Amino acid sequence: MKHLNPLVLLLAFASTAGAANPIITDVFTADPAPLVVGDTVYLYCGQDEAKPDEHYRMFRWLCFSSQDLKTWKPEGSPLSPKDFEWAVGDAWASEVIEKDGKFYFFATVQHNDSHRGKAIGVAVSDSPTGPFIDARGSALVTNDMTKATRISWDDIDPTVWIDDDGQAWLFWGNQKCYYAKLKPNMTELDGEIQVIPDEEVHAFTEAPWIHKREGTYYLSYATGFPEKTAYSTSDKITGPWKYRGLLAEAAGNSNTIHQGIINFKGEDYFFYHNGLVQAPSTGGSFRRSVCIDRLHYNEDGTIKRIVQTTE
């Protein structure tokens, strides 16, 4: 039998090591929010710590960094709900954005006033890896502010977009997609909270994410339940939005999928989570794992259906 050169074997392994889905295999990770800073992608996600028969148990957010989207360096936990004195737990979905050299961590938590339900806080740091500190000492958005509130968990899943004119916008929601301007300090809303009309976001569930390409704004979001990913487009950040169809089918063995989209080194990527078995542990809707797959556009700017892979 012909023996393979061990160096060739090593290089073959090294070129794929870490490239497989899920991208993190030693802990369960959910709600990916990727941020590009120069030649590095910082990935923020919640850690799922539920046992196989438990529902959400999420005590902290984790950060990982990568220069090639294959090898991920753990950067520890830059923030937890305990860092918001007015919160009592639940490290649900988040997004971090850079403005003027500072990093703003918009995070979903459970408010300590049970009438307020889930709420959105904002923490700030000079570094993408933290530590982040509460920038307000109170919730940025709470349940009693949104006029269309019907459930205690509708103020979740913040996503932030800074437009070409420097204006920052916050989008969030469950069942309804809300949006509002942020003041230049990034820590206060500026003006009324708006609601995107239902017909502009088809069967909106949660997890809005904004990105822009060639003058078109893309609003992607989880639709239905179990969730798939859908998207709408507009030529203005304030809409009106036109529903464009499905972007991704339901994620394996998870009721949620929660996507994040970036362009990195000229290529487009779709981050999401699934609940597939992660040897030697069982996955599921509350034991999720972050995955990455390629995102491709058609010539007319519509997005091709994401192919979920294990590679």
Among 69, 86, 157, 172, binds ligand FUB (CB under 6 A): 157
Among 142, 233, 256, 278, binds ligand FUB (CB under 6 A): 256
Among 93, 180, 262, 306, binds ligand FUB (CB under 6 A): 93
Residue 257 tokens, joined: 């999928």
Per CB under 6 A, does 110 bind ligand FUB?
A: no
Among 21, 24, 29, 30, binds ligand FUB (CB under 6 A): 30
Give yes or no for a contact between 83 and 133, defined as CB atoms under 8 angstroms apart.
yes
Binding mask 257-276 for ligand FUB (x = CB under 6 A): -x------------------
- The span from the CA of 127 to the CA of 227, in Å, is 33
Per CB under 6 A, does 206 bind ligand FUB?
A: yes
Closer CB to ligand FUB, 30 or 295, in the complex? 30
Residue type, 79: L
Among 43, 97, 156, 182, binds ligand FUB (CB under 6 A): 156
Ranges within 56-75 binding ligand FUB (CB under 6 A): 56
**How far is CA 165 from each of CA 37, 168, 226, 256, rounded to the nearest angstrom?**
20, 9, 37, 34
List interacting residues with ligand FUB (CB under 6 A). 30-31, 46, 56, 92-93, 108, 156-157, 206-207, 256, 258
